Amino acid sequence: MKKNLILLIIFIYACNTNKKMVKHPLDKSEVRTIVLENGLKVFLLSDPGFNMSAASVAVQVGSLDNPEDRQGLAHFLEHMLFLGTKKYPDVDEYSSYLRTNGGYSNAYTSSDLTNYQFQVLPDAFEGAVDRFSQFFTSPLFTEEYTSREVNAVNSEHQKNIMNDNWRQFRISGLFTKDGHPEQKFGTGNLETLGDIDREELLDFYNRYYSSNRMGLAMLSTHSLDDMESWAKKYFSNINNNNKDRNRYDSDYFEKKETFRLVQIDPIKDIRNLVMTFPLPGTRHLYASKPGRQFGFILGHEGPGSLLSYLKEKGWAISLSAGAGARSADHGSASVTVGLTQSGQENYKEVIKSTLDYVDLMKNSGHPKHVFDELKNMAELDEVYASKGEGMWRATQLANEVMMYPIEDAGRINYIYSNSDAKPYEDLLSHITADNMLTMLIAKGVKTDKIEHFYQAPYSYTEDGSIYEYLISSQKRPKLAIPEVNPFIPKNASVPKRELDLTVLPEEIKLNDGVKLYFGQDHEFLRPKGIISLKILFPKNIMSVKHRVYSRIYAACVNESLNELSYPAKLAGINFSIKEGYEGMYVDVNGYAESALKLYETILEHMVAFSITDTQFDAIKDKVVRDYENFSLSDAHQQTRELAPDLFYNVKYTWKESLPVAKNVTHESLKNYSKDLYKSTFLEAMVYGDFPKHVANDVVDLFVEKTKTSPIKKEEAFEIDYLKLSQPESIQYVEDLLVNNSCIFRNYFIGTDSPEIRATSLILSKALEQPFYTEMRTNQQLGYIVWSYSRNYDESYYLNFLIQSGVYPADELNRRVNDFLSDSPNILKDMDEETFQNLIDSAIEQLEKKPMSISERATKFKNYIFEHDGDFERDFNTIQALKTLKKERIESHLSEIISLEKRKMVNILTFADNHANKKQIKSSFSDLKAWKSAKVYK
Ligand SMILES: [Zn+2]
């Protein structure tokens, strides 16, 4: 099986080391790695296929390095680097420059590294690199912004306080050895950083921000020589203090012959069991990847897997397993099980089963076929997968060049050169009951302590008798190591087609009730493709019952398919079955070889899914909890979800859906699904490396399996959207149960036309940075500050959103009013060159080339099904952009926000702990009655 892979048509490209890089013939990228005189390691990647240029700097310092009495300092410093440098002192110079040139930036602080990244259009790359490089040579750390920005970090923490993942992460750190940096609080807040001054920032910066501890990646269409010269010009004067990397104690969790259990009472109604096994550093083992093998086997979902066993017992709904590094010196392996109610009651049995599976792994020895499959897939992916572009790719490359031997940077994920059993066996030797911390996160568990920074209730216990039980040996015959995967592509090769960028998908006329498009890929020449279906139902199907049932139905179909299809996913053929208001969506995406076979199997399960009552109960319970938990999700999510209440003619809230979900039975759902496909209209697209008959097969199989009768498109249910014909201000006010308030404002810009699309693009580009700078950086209203434009079908809107843990929604409303009343001046004061940059970046955004067959197919699908096959749509927007005048945009903005002419939907939500002092009310008392008097089209 593996030998066939040699048939690949491959091009061998020699880097400036003796390592071989395998490339697709269309891949014109070139790589160069260099080390500057100051020790900075640099990864350069030039690719004429990129839309965006990007750069990233990784620094070997993170939250583990925070001083004992300054928790959160590394993270705070990360924020401060954005707020002005000696050469570019303006607080938003860097961000404005990027936004004006079609780019943006971000940064993050993790355990042992901090990473900064940006992307921008190629013409502005050198200018962005110049501004960016100043972070690492001459940051200002002004007193003024030092004291202001602490509030942004505090808001960031407030956003996390009610998040169960953050709570769990924080509490798990408390149980490491005394004095180990894992015990520190990483984010920081006013309490830990409130009185910080400039000197402390400078001191930390000078100690750790040294060129020998950094990695730089630059990705662009520019030549390697150009990029090398910029790397030298802008990054050579970073100071090198030659300080070696920080060391961390790899033995950070005490071995103890007892069962250690941490119980956490969560915010949401979740049930998770997490078993963590501390490990020494694993990063240096990248050539053998023992962590990935461990996760592959223990996290497998096929027949004989631990998950299948736990599901059969009725204890689990999900399972994931893996191992990762926290630093070069330490890391951990972990297994997370999503429990059912019965699983929570039997959590000791779940742990025992897991350890029994690990025993099976230990006794079975190193499974060579698993290593080979991972290696085969990596080889295929290195040639055929889309590697992406932009700042996230840059981030990964900067981290790799900093952390790994420079000759292997750029392909760490693809290297499987060491098939020795030892690293795998060594890792397994740490997966023992005496090296385990278990966390049970579920409502109602016993707690007697409160974590300080999150105010999260938890408890810790040790139990010797459970430990004795866990280490007793027990064989479970149903557990098995995964077998050889039949889905691994055997004949993948470069398709023999002409390169041709003008080929468009074509409509294939078939019978009634079907709109089918087919296209062969002539752009990427990969052995991959997508089969994509949208199944629409008759208008009269729509009801709250249908909405809730279709959601549970989709989950049941996925469950029914899971064991069978899991190996396909591992072999690069993904699929999804999802429901929405307008129907069911089915996608099969990946290596084309087995795609049709998998598609047929999916249809069989859609028509008749097969799961046990226990599995059904677990799914229903999960859906019910998801509905209930929605009121505890982030304020901005809840607030944005209120918009469709007004904008859609049909929308069911979680409150309406919950009682229906509670009453679903396995039998009633079976009955529902029996008739589901009786009458349908099918929109389908088959695209990529398929012969034409596959497109017809896709439709024929659908009709054959579902025995559907066709309806006309006009007879199918589709959402209608609010049409505001007269100026109007609509206010929608709600109270939340969470600790943040939110404002979400929508202004109607106009009805779809090339000019309105162009206007809406430019308005959002012009206002994004000023809104952010004023509301977040200057006024410090909250961590989440967004503005953008979007459309509901034909109607275009300009949106502003702020989430705040400090200010109630009426105060946010006042601040947004103040900002907007002055906003036309932003355009008035803008110079022509900046305005032209906005236009150019909007044009480049529309001209952006997809990076994969799948992205290309999505774009075509959108033209075909959402815009009646108008392939010229973006071209027409570009023509309109070219004629836009600044004065025109300015007057358009003045008009759409003016008190007399605005058509505005303003949504205000108040945090649990914020009072609605002025008693602001919604514009309506009865939403249904209000909607019935409105026009929806
Ligand atoms: Zn942050």
What's 479's DSSP letter? -
Beta strands in 594-739 (DSSP E): 679-688, 709-710, 722-723, 728-735
Q: What burial letters (b/e) apply to 59-72, b meaning 16+ CB within 10 Å? A: bbbbbbbbeeebbb
Rounded to an integer, what distance in angstroms lies between the CA atom of residue 800 and that of residue 114? 30
Beta strands in 113-245 (DSSP E): 114-120, 214-220
How remote is the CA of residue 150 from the centroid of ligand 1, in Å?
Answer: 10
CA atoms within 13 A on the CB side of 817: 8
Tell me the CA distances in angstroms from 95 to 80, 115, 118, 801, 822, one per residue in order. 13, 16, 9, 19, 21
How remote is the CA of residue 472 from the centroid of ligand 1, in Å?
Answer: 46
How remote is the CA of residue 246 from the centroid of ligand 1, in Å?
Answer: 22
How remote is the CA of residue 105 from the centroid of ligand 1, in Å?
Answer: 13
- Tokens representing 783 are 């961590």
How remote is the CA of residue 782 from the centroid of ligand 1, in Å?
Answer: 12
As a whole number of Å, the CA-based R_g of the chain is: 28
**One-character DSSP codes across 496-524:** -----TT---EEE--STTEEEEEEE--SS
- Orientation of helix 754-772 relative to helix 873-883, angle to 10°: 70
How remote is the CA of residue 70 from the centroid of ligand 1, in Å?
Answer: 16
How remote is the CA of residue 104 from the centroid of ligand 1, in Å?
Answer: 16
Rounded to an integer, what distance in angstroms lies between the CA atom of residue 320 and that of residue 334? 8
Q: Using alpha carbons, select from 642, 726, 728, 645 the residue that is nearest to residue 927.
A: 645
The two beta strands, 330-339 and 437-442, are unpaired
**Please, what sign has the CA dihedral across residues 177, 178, 179, 181?**
positive
Residue 512's pLDDT is what? 85
Phi first, then psi: what are they for 447, rounded to 5°? Answer: -135, 150
How remote is the CA of residue 656 from the centroid of ligand 1, in Å?
Answer: 37
How remote is the CA of residue 926 from the centroid of ligand 1, in Å?
Answer: 41
Rounded to an integer, what distance in angstroms lies between the CA atom of residue 483 and that of residue 735? 53
Tell me the CA distances in angstroms from 760 to 79, 751, 802, 832, 936, one per residue in order. 30, 10, 20, 18, 22
CA 663 to chain CA centroid, nearest Å: 33
Beta strands in 526-647 (DSSP E): 528-536, 573-580, 583-591
Beta strands in 569-711 (DSSP E): 573-580, 583-591, 679-688, 709-710
How remote is the CA of residue 103 from the centroid of ligand 1, in Å?
Answer: 19
Residue 510's pLDDT is what? 67
Written as one letter, the residue type at 406 is: I
How remote is the CA of residue 187 from the centroid of ligand 1, in Å?
Answer: 7
How remote is the CA of residue 116 from the centroid of ligand 1, in Å?
Answer: 11
Q: Is 804 helix (H, G, I), strand (E, B) or coil?
A: strand
Written as one letter, the residue type at 17 is: T
Q: Residue ranges of the alpha helices (H) in 162-264?
A: 164-173, 190-193, 198-208, 224-235
How remote is the CA of residue 96 from the centroid of ligand 1, in Å?
Answer: 19
The two beta strands, 53-59 and 214-220, are antiparallel
Q: What burial letters (b/e) apply to 846-865, b meaning 16+ CB within 10 Å? A: bebebbbbbebbbebbebbb
How remote is the CA of residue 163 from the centroid of ligand 1, in Å?
Answer: 16
How remote is the CA of residue 491 from the centroid of ligand 1, in Å?
Answer: 46
Q: Using alpha carbons, select from 459, 440, 448 the residue that is nearest to residue 344.
A: 440
Cα-Cα-Cα-Cα torsion 775, 781, 782, 783, nearest 10 degrees, comes to: 30
How remote is the CA of residue 79 from the centroid of ligand 1, in Å?
Answer: 6
Rounded to an integer, what distance in angstroms lies between the CA atom of residue 772 and that of residue 761? 17
How remote is the CA of residue 156 from the centroid of ligand 1, in Å?
Answer: 6
How remote is the CA of residue 273 from the centroid of ligand 1, in Å?
Answer: 28
Q: Is 417 helix (H, G, I), strand (E, B) or coil?
A: coil
Cα-Cα-Cα-Cα torsion 466, 471, 476, 482, nearest 10 degrees, comes to: 120
How remote is the CA of residue 208 from the centroid of ligand 1, in Å?
Answer: 19
Rounded to an integer, what distance in angstroms lies between the CA atom of residue 582 and that of residue 535? 8
What's 139's DSSP letter? B
Rounded to an integer, what distance in angstroms lies between the CA atom of residue 560 and that of residue 605? 7
Q: Taking the chain (937 residues) in consecutive chunks of 10 residues, what is each chunk's mean pLDDT?
A: 32 39 89 98 97 98 96 97 96 94 96 98 97 97 93 94 96 96 96 95 96 98 98 98 94 96 98 98 97 98 97 97 96 98 98 98 96 96 94 98 97 97 98 98 97 98 98 93 94 92 88 92 96 97 98 98 94 96 97 95 97 96 97 97 97 97 98 97 97 96 96 96 95 97 98 97 96 95 96 96 97 98 96 96 94 95 91 96 96 97 98 94 96 95
Written as one letter, the residue type at 915 is: A
How remote is the CA of residue 69 from the centroid of ligand 1, in Å?
Answer: 19
How remote is the CA of residue 75 from the centroid of ligand 1, in Å?
Answer: 6
Rounded to an integer, what distance in angstroms lies between the CA atom of residue 540 and that of residue 538? 6
How remote is the CA of residue 706 from the centroid of ligand 1, in Å?
Answer: 50
How remote is the CA of residue 110 from the centroid of ligand 1, in Å?
Answer: 11
- The 10 Å Cβ neighbour count of residue 689 is 24
Residue 511's pLDDT is what? 73
Residue 21's pLDDT is what? 64
How remote is the CA of residue 107 from the centroid of ligand 1, in Å?
Answer: 8
How remote is the CA of residue 152 from the centroid of ligand 1, in Å?
Answer: 8
How remote is the CA of residue 145 from the centroid of ligand 1, in Å?
Answer: 15
Residue 20's pLDDT is what? 57
How remote is the CA of residue 153 from the centroid of ligand 1, in Å?
Answer: 6
Rounded to an integer, what distance in angstroms lies between the CA atom of residue 770 and that of residue 95? 10
How remote is the CA of residue 80 from the centroid of ligand 1, in Å?
Answer: 10
Q: Is 676 helix (H, G, I), strand (E, B) or coil?
A: coil
Yes or no: say if 41 and 216 are a contact pair by the CB < 8 Å rule.
yes
Q: What is the 3-state secondary structure (H, E, C) of 907-925?
A: EEEECCCCCCCCCCCCCCC
How remote is the CA of residue 457 from the centroid of ligand 1, in Å?
Answer: 25
**The model's pTM:** 0.92
Rounded to an integer, what distance in angstroms lies between the CA atom of residue 786 and that of residue 770? 11
What's 6's DSSP letter? G
How remote is the CA of residue 81 from the centroid of ligand 1, in Å?
Answer: 11
How remote is the CA of residue 586 from the centroid of ligand 1, in Å?
Answer: 37
- Tokens representing 780 are 């410090």
In angstroms, how far is the first alpha carbon of the chain from the final one?
Answer: 56
Rounded to an integer, what distance in angstroms lies between the CA atom of residue 22 and that of residue 10? 7
Helix (H) / strand (E) element for 799: namely strand 795-804
How remote is the CA of residue 129 from the centroid of ligand 1, in Å?
Answer: 22
What is the spatial order of strands in the sheet that 53-59 belongs to?
Answer: 30-35, 41-46, 214-220, 53-59, 114-120, 104-109
Phi first, then psi: what are they for 20, rounded to 5°? Answer: -100, 135
CA atoms within 13 A on the CB side of 366: 18
- The 10 Å Cβ neighbour count of residue 722 is 22
How remote is the CA of residue 783 from the centroid of ligand 1, in Å?
Answer: 8
Q: Using alpha carbons, select from 791, 794, 799, 756 the residue that is nearest to residue 892.
A: 756
